[in-house]
Amino acid sequence: MKRLGLALLLFTASGCMHLHRPAPVAPPEVAQGIHFPEWRKEDSTTVQGPQLKALQIALDDFMPPGRGAPGGADPMTRCLFQLPTYDAWIQRGDKVTFIHFTPLEQERCGLKSEVMDAGASYAVSDEGVILKRE
């Protein structure tokens, strides 16, 4: 009986686990042709630690890993379920990061926008708590 209880606990707890898929890595012959730039702050965009953390939290909430468009979805729905459809706007507040995901469905999917803004806005504290989403 204890084994059955443990099995049920593990099965139900597995739904809370974060799904992580490793990124694909190019073969060595492709990597050989890539040359990193000289890293200079003035030529780079800096996303500071709290902002980076907030972006990951908001992104995981907005588009959870492993979630895709429902089967038989129309082209607009399939487009909106793809991360490359979106840009992220990030602004720093007082111990909070504001993030807005905005879709560019016409530019990225070749589709005329049917909704005003299918994006989402987040306020994420430096402690990693979603304070507000809309």
Sheet with 120-125, strands from edge to edge, namely: 86-92, 96-103, 120-125, 130-133
Sequential pLDDT tens for the chain (134 residues): 455 444 444 444 444 455 567 888 999 999 999 998 999 999 988 889 999 999 999 999 999 888 888 899 988 888 888 888 889 999 999 999 999 998 887 888 887 776 666 789 999 999 999 999 99
What pLDDT shows up at residue 61?
94
What angle is formed at CA 31 by the lines to CA 83 and CA 18, rounded to 5 degrees? Answer: 35
The one-letter amino acid at 18: H
Pick from 80, 123, 121: nearest CA to 103? 80
What pLDDT shows up at residue 115?
63
